[in-house]
Amino acid sequence: MPNIEDFSHIISAVAGARASGLKIADGAVSLMLDVSGLNADARTQMEADVRSAVERAGATSVRIMLTAERITPRLIAVASGKGGVGKSTLSTNLAIAMARAGRSVGLVDADIYGPSQPRLMGVEGVKPEAEGKNMIPVMGAGGVPFLSMGQLVNPGQAIAWRGPMAGNALSQLVDAKWGDVRDIVVDMPPGTGDIQLSMIQKHKPVGAVIISTPQDLALIDATRAISFFDTAKVPIIGLVENMAGYLCPHCGEMSDPFGSGGAEAAAKELGIPFLGRIPLDIKIRMASDAGNPPALDEGPISDAYAAIARQVSAWMDAPQAAPA
Ligand SMILES: Nc1ncnc2c1ncn2[C@@H]1O[C@H](COP(=O)(O)OP(=O)(O)OP(=O)(O)O)[C@@H](O)[C@H]1O
């Protein structure tokens, strides 16, 4: 029978620093497993992995107590200098790709000008319920819980809002019953005006992902968005290039209607990380419009979102994203 040190090694090979309180009595092993920040599937998987490793090593019985710290979700802002560059599409697919990697992540659609997430998440017309004063997020595509400005007001109504109203509306979404959600991807309204400032002053994101198309004019707007977050002291996680390169579905030739590589060059010049590029592909628009986010699929598009999600997740796991 292995001793307590052997079991400790076996368990930490599977669960890293998440295991604690290991005890052994007559071959019966008990321990605690901190599953904070993991979604339900990842929790079940980790528990099962630890259990089978301990059983394989010869334990007569295994008792695992799952614990999770109560957490206030951290916000990841997805922002762009101007509209129409694919910010909402990226927000949805980033959240889904992070969830597919086992993270406990939610999505908030704070774009008061054109809340499009209910459609992208396949839950158009679904109204969230409330528990007391708090809203309960609805379950969107990929099992990602989500709330949208579009669920608070009728389309078009919010456009006349001023900063404080937008800030208060965002509070309703962010202060909802998020359960064990650790990180919330926030689809910001495009631009860098008072509305956006009020929102981030009220609910400071831990970091911002900026999205741009590759052409010069869009990059100038992206640069403005970057300095906006700099001024607000919100660190930039990195820049994503969207609609980079068009693969012709008929002849298979790759062309660059908006140029290509502009965002990567701009990121280098600005000294911020480049997180990756998403091609211009009609399949992205069609799948999104049908409420089937492409990040849920298999293939190169989904891989591109997963690669961006990995970098954002790594940034969130590093010390700079830890709560003060
Ligand atoms: N890589 C892509 N390839 C093809 N179509 C895309 C791509 N990214 C986004 N789109 C499409 O472009 C349109 C605009 O995208 P999206 O709504 O995500 O942009 P946005 O920046 O959030 O816009 P808004 O500022 O209006 O909210 C949508 O029809 C979307 O399906």
- How far does residue 142's CA lie from ligand 1's centre (Å)? 19
Cα of 104 from ligand 1 centre, angstroms: 25
Which residues are bridge partners to 147 per DSSP?
108
Sort strands 105-109 and 183-187 into parallel, antiparallel or unpaired. Answer: parallel
User: 229 with 77: CB under 8 angstroms?
Assistant: yes
In sequence order, the β-bridge partners of residue 210 are 79, 239
Does domain 74-321 sit in CATH 3.40.50.300? yes
Q: In angstroms, what CA-CA distances link 205 with 67, 188, 284?
A: 26, 11, 27
pLDDT for the residue numbered 155 = 65
Whole-number average pLDDT of the chain: 89
Which residues, including other chains, have CB under 8 Å from residue 250's CB and lie 6 or more apart?
A: none
Domain positions in the chain: 4-67, 74-321
Rounded CA separation 324/320 (Å): 9
Residue 86 Cα, ligand 1 centroid: separation in angstroms?
A: 3
Q: Which residues line ligand 1 (CB under 6 A)?
A: 80, 83-89, 111, 114, 116, 190, 242-243, 278, 280-281, 284-285, 288
CA dist 275 → 80, 190, 212, 241, 312 (Å): 14, 19, 12, 8, 8
54 is in an annotated binding site: no
Tell me, which fold does domain 4-67 have in CATH? GMP Synthetase; Chain A, domain 3 (3.30.300)
User: What is the 88 CA–ligand 1 centroid distance (Å)?
Assistant: 7
Nearest to 87 by CA among 196, 243, 216: 243
Q: Whose CA is nearest to atom 8 of ligand 1?
A: 86
Atom of ligand 1 nearest to the CA of 113: 27
Distance, first Cα to last Cα, the chain: 44
Residue 114 alpha carbon, nearest atom of ligand 1: 27
Sign of CA pseudo-dihedral 186, 189, 194, 195: negative
23 and 30 Cβ atoms separated by less than 8 Å: yes
- Which residue CA neighbors atom 2 of ligand 1 most closely? 280
Q: Which residue's C-alpha comes closest to atom 15 of ligand 1?
A: 86
pLDDT in single tens digits along all 324 residues of the chain: 888 999 999 999 999 989 999 999 999 999 999 988 888 888 899 999 999 999 999 999 999 999 887 778 999 999 999 888 999 999 999 999 999 999 999 999 998 887 888 999 999 888 999 888 889 999 999 999 999 988 887 766 766 777 788 888 899 999 999 988 999 999 999 989 888 998 999 899 999 999 999 887 778 888 999 999 999 999 999 999 999 877 777 777 777 776 677 888 889 988 999 999 999 998 999 999 999 999 999 999 999 999 999 999 999 988 777 655
